[in-house]
Structure 1
Amino acid sequence: MTKYPIKSRGRPSAFDDMMKPKITQQILEKVAEGVSDHEIYKAMHSSAFTFNKWRDANAEAYDKARTIARSNMLSLAESALQAKMNRRTLTETETIYEADGKTIKGYKVKTKEYDIDTNASIFVAKAGKPTLYDPVNFAKVKEVEIGAGELRKAIEETRRYDLDKYETPSGIEAPTDF
């Protein structure tokens, strides 16, 4: 009976390579840049299981790198939102040439003003007071406004019947048992 050497099944694991300090540092830099885990382990020709095993072994450093990535993303989002919350102007300058195409005749300057982005302002308002801008509460406020309008109409109609305008007719006596 001949014994054959036992071969491992599947492709070789990249875990040992991932645990090398240089490779680990490169992975952590990619995580801090905001690259997703999926993109990282696919680029390394590794499986999700192997990457998760590496991540668990380097949990503290991985969490720090992920925190840096989130902070960078939040500051980028905040600056983009801030830009949309300010009124912006764009100045375009057009050069006007003479008929020969070489001599400059003059310049035409156009200034465009862009308003504050409505969606950005709604987002900021909701972030500041989420209960105030709740769609359910907004619908209730609208119902109250509609009801108040109908009440206002009823009050105006009753003013037509203002009793101060009328005089008591003469010759009519009120019943005594009334």
Structure 2
Amino acid sequence: MNKDDLSFKEAKLFAEELFIAGVESTGNALSFLVYHLARNPRVQQTLYKEIMCHMPDDGQVSASALSNLPYLKACVKESLRLSPPVTGTVRITTTDMRLSGHAVPQGFVVNTGSDVICHLEEYFHRPMEYIPERWLGEARSRIVPFSFIPFGHGARMCIGRRFAEQELIMAAMTVCAGHL
């Protein structure tokens, strides 16, 4: 922020992104995950069985246990799809361009609205239902690329993605296994 070549518009964008990342965080994502699990007893039971197969009695989770939880990871993805903590990605165009047939000038702010995409029937069958199975096996191949990018994509992807995902998985395991 002390750089002389940083414009007010750029400083404002950085401040907005910092605010969004700080307020709409892993805590919100975990709250929605618990909400979706509470509303879906069938999913809860399946998840509980998977977790109990890998959760040691002392509640200390190993790296190998974390890598063997496909249903839990699917539950997290499905919760992020239905209730994303961040509603889209904001970028400023660096050149004049056309997006979906519309002229967009250089310096224009563009918001992707990825939360809208995740609720469209053309991208997700029964989009308003919590169905973790859509992220497993053959069903996963039917997901349209880039229809689900809760952490952004590419060079500007959220740097906290792996930490947030790990935190969600660990918290969900702890809550579901009753090791509070």
Give the TM-score, by structure 1 length: 0.24
Higher RCO (C-alpha 8 Å, min separation 6) = 2
Give the TM-score, by structure 2 length: 0.24
Higher helix share: 1
Larger radius of gyration between Structure 1 and Structure 2: 1
Higher strand share: 1
